[in-house]
A and B are shown apart, each in its own frame.
Chain A
């Protein structure tokens, strides 16, 4: 297990290194640091001098080294628009996005497991058929359409739920959370449902197909032959084996969910990283874009590493491979 963990962490470091190279490349091609620091009213000679002083004429690897050194210390440059360190802006916006992803993951988990399992053990029931049919429809409706339809129904027609913003926040250290007030929950409900609407059908189908495959296996037939109850066969023998592939795919999909926050946050004007990203694109705020990319990349690597470690805990074969 220890060896397995070390291996996984090492792999994570490599991925982070690659992300930093990409971030550096973007910064090199998009951002002009001289513009970052000076105005338009600076003469050409002064600019040349500035470039020299900043080391912009150094070979690329020296510049990359500097970039990486700064990045490790949390310095990803200064946002053109906010005139503040990009890292600071990111950290300020991150809680909104992380809470959104967290709540929609919760929704996915809470619904996909029972629905997926049910439609696997009773594939011929009317409910399962309806579920499978509607999940195809669900996957193919774009997020923003779901979001807009929800806003129309629940905010405009019924006035039940607020259509934008995060509502009342409580500060916990530097983390502004909306999960401690009713108002915050009312605000996060629609965005998180919209965000989960893409992944939920996928997860239901994934759990269903994995579970159905497991139910066909010899060891399940053997479990029946031992006289075990349906409950035991389904929820202990079959479900535990279903979990393994679902965890792996789940980790990857969580990353994809982060990408979809951009759309969701834009529709609901959710003041998180996705919203900020769209603004930064419009404003060509290169340092902020690079910082966003790096942050999201690191979060994804972190999540995938954690998912792999959980997988290792559930799967006895891996546990042993690590001990060897």
Chain B
């Protein structure tokens, strides 16, 4: 991976997405809380990146911040979201709107809640096209919608366009939402737990469809999930988040096979197939801290089996572990000038 990166950099090409030191805060009545604390990652064109971590780690807010759509009272306090070199955290409302749903599409978690119950599928598809291409004719928009519905294997799409969301199953709705994401041939799709709300039996099916489409259409994908097994299947790179920070990132296969950060190690050990048959799952003891009481030093230190004195005082920066993974952990010597460690 790093060789591709250095090649791209050396040739002066811009990455598809470069999130840099992103700090997201929530201005609550009881005071400000920091939901992400300096998150950085890069995505090349057509790359699929997994964003994993426990509930509350800040995955969703990170995903939404890319299109500058954090629900109030959240806001981007500092950092950059460079999309093809343009910092989306700083562009006008008009500009960001022309990118949302056009060049960056989102897929939400629960397809039962995502579609508007009183508008037909056809309306909800063509409105996106008309919004981003005002001069497009109705017939043209319809033709594109039908084409995309076929791409996600919706049978008899002509008939389906006139129907309402409640006439579809959860799996079908998520296919439709994927079709909506494809409408404008975006460069990037952000999928926030796209299968967790679905039946186990169709989760794999939807995931496969999404991956296949990203591949054939050469779209970048940020896949947000708890599920390491899914990430291992779909993505090329992983960023592991814990309490608002990226604690480890690297090529998916390497992170799964040889995790460097104790938190990632814990996550992998907790996977069902890692513990022997009939054994208890090896859950990481303790709970992730809430935003209000993140401990000083490394936020993982109270749960860490390798905790040292320094962990309670100093926030570790990202550094190479024993392999090329980057891990924010004091177990490894800090690096002074590793550009991608920042």
Please give the residue numbers on chain A whose beta carbons come within 8 Å of chain B beta carbons, in ascending order.
217-219, 221-229, 232, 236-237, 240-241, 244, 314-317, 320
Give the residues in chain A near B127, CB-CB below 8 Å. Answer: 226, 228, 232, 236
In the complex, the answer to whether A224 meets B119 with C-beta atoms within 8 Å is: no
A229 vs B130: C-alpha distance when bound (angstroms): 11
A227 vs B181: C-alpha distance when bound (angstroms): 12
Give the residues in chain A near B102, CB-CB below 8 Å. Answer: 227
Q: List 12 A-B contacts (CB under 8 A).
A: A218-B110, A219-B114, A222-B108, A222-B115, A223-B116, A224-B69, A227-B97, A227-B101, A227-B132, A228-B97, A316-B166, A320-B167
In the complex, the answer to whether B119 meets A237 with C-beta atoms within 8 Å is: yes
Task: Report B199 CB to chain A, min CB distance, Å.
Answer: 19
In the complex, the answer to whether B116 meets A229 with C-beta atoms within 8 Å is: no
In the complex, the answer to whether A224 meets B100 with C-beta atoms within 8 Å is: yes
CB within 8 Å of A: which B95-109 residues: 97-102, 105-106, 108
Indicate which residue in B101, B113, B120 contacts A219 across the interface (CB closer than 8 Å).
B113
| Interface-central residue, A217, A222, A224, A315, by most chain B CB under 10 Å | A222
Give the residues in chain B near A240, CB-CB below 8 Å. Answer: 116, 118-119
A115 vs B271: C-alpha distance when bound (angstroms): 54
Task: Report A295 CB to chain B, min CB distance, Å.
Answer: 36
- List the count of A-B residue pairs having beta carbons below 8 Å apart: 76
Task: Report B97 CB to chain A, min CB distance, Å.
Answer: 5
Q: Does B131 contact A (CB under 8 A)?
A: yes
A316 vs B123: C-alpha distance when bound (angstroms): 14
Task: Report B132 CB to chain A, min CB distance, Å.
Answer: 6
Give the residues in chain B near A317, CB-CB below 8 Å. Answer: 117, 164, 166
A268 vs B115: C-alpha distance when bound (angstroms): 50
Give the residues in chain B near A315, CB-CB below 8 Å. Answer: 118
Give the residues in chain B near A232, CB-CB below 8 Å. Answer: 127, 131
Give the residues in chain B near A227, CB-CB below 8 Å. Answer: 97-102, 128, 131-132
In the complex, the answer to whether B99 meets A316 with C-beta atoms within 8 Å is: no
A232 vs B110: C-alpha distance when bound (angstroms): 23
Q: Does B81 contact A (CB under 8 A)?
A: no
Identify the closest chain B residue to A239 (Cβ): B118
In the complex, the answer to whether A217 meets B119 with C-beta atoms within 8 Å is: no
In the complex, the answer to whether B118 meets A316 with C-beta atoms within 8 Å is: yes
A44 vs B117: C-alpha distance when bound (angstroms): 71
Indicate which residue in B98, B106, B120, B164 contacts A225 across the interface (CB closer than 8 Å).
B106
Identify the closest chain B residue to A216 (Cβ): B71
Task: Report B175 CB to chain A, min CB distance, Å.
Answer: 15
A229 vs B69: C-alpha distance when bound (angstroms): 14
In the complex, the answer to whether B108 meets A218 with C-beta atoms within 8 Å is: yes
In the complex, the answer to whether B100 meets A314 with C-beta atoms within 8 Å is: no
Give the residues in chain A near B256, CB-CB below 8 Å. Answer: none
A237 vs B119: C-alpha distance when bound (angstroms): 8
Q: Does B67 contact A (CB under 8 A)?
A: yes
**Top-5 shortest CB links A-B:** A226-B101, A227-B101, A227-B100, A218-B113, A316-B164
